[in-house]
Structure 1
Amino acid sequence: MGSFVVNIVTPDGIIFDHHAKYLVANTAAGSLGVLPNHAPLISPLEIDAVRIDLEDDSDHKSEWVAVNGGIIEIRDNVVSIIANSAETEENIDIARAKAAKIRAEEKIAAAKEASDHGIDMDRAEIALHRAINRLNVANKRR
């Protein structure tokens, strides 16, 4: 069937670099499944989990990466994801993600109480989405 290379890069450097046989990512246009020899494509990514089925995985376990937006590019059997931040499932600090979720929920509640639906509310909603994404990915490793 073949494989392709998956690279996930953040401003902190490369966080994932492996051969894969399948990848699923959530783009602005919807869910995207990638197999070897995929047509070239560039698309913005949503805040969501990226599932990667590794080429050498004999027990059919998927790797999960929490990606907080960014861009996916597919070209010549290389999938490159460039994200502001991303964490592999084993690198997620669950306590920190839970604390971020609680802070975001408190900010959203305060903004609703004050009828303030401005930039702070938008930022809190994005922070909540990111925290939930990280917790969802962390829970996949259990």
Structure 2
Amino acid sequence: MSLQICIMTPDCIFLNEQAEEIILPTNTGQMGVLANHAPLITALDIGVMLIRTKTEWVSLALMGGFALVKQNKVTVLVNEAESSQNINVEEANTAFETAKLRLEQAEGQKQKVEANFSFKRARARFQVAKQSQK
């Protein structure tokens, strides 16, 4: 038995396919979902979602949202999603290093929150781009 995965952004249905297993980036850490998982709703953090099909693992960068798991269907509502095909590795690395530096230099609560958001986004994009090279 497999899972039906549907990832939706405000613009489109980003992905709609079958998977054997997924790993979601929740606000409390990574959460794995297999077939016949208990129903739940969870908030998603900015991070990498892993999807295992019958033949491979696919990684996607998710930019926060929610996931609903119910009756072997996983509906993921996110602000933005990106696959490795749309991410340039060198640009992602540069953005990650810049965001890391800004986070280290951030002063004041507002600046730290903004820098942390940029850092998480850049890290997720870089991890997805880097995994596609393997």
Do they fold alike, i.e. is TM over 0.5? Answer: yes
- Counterpart contact for 1:15–1:88, Cα < 8 Å: no
**Structure 2 unmatched runs, 5+:** none
Match of 1:24, as an amino acid? I
* Alpha-carbon separation, structure 2, partners of 1:9 and 1:96: 25
Partner of 1:4: 3
Q: CA deviation at 1:89?
A: 1.8
* Alpha-carbon separation, structure 2, partners of 1:110 and 1:31: 28
Q: Which runs of 4+ in 1 moved over 6 A?
A: none
1:131 counterpart (118, 122, 129): 122
- Superposed CA deviations along residues 102-125 of structure 1, whole A, max 9, x for unmatched, are 4434533553xxxx2221221112
The structure with the larger Rg is: 1
Partner of 2:24: 25
**Quick one: percent identity of the two aligned structures?**
31
**Structure 1 unmatched runs, 5+:** none
- Does 1:68 find its partner at 2:63? yes
The 3 A distance-change label for structure 1 pair 128 and 30 is: closer
How many residues were matched structurally?
Answer: 133
Match of 2:77, as an amino acid? I
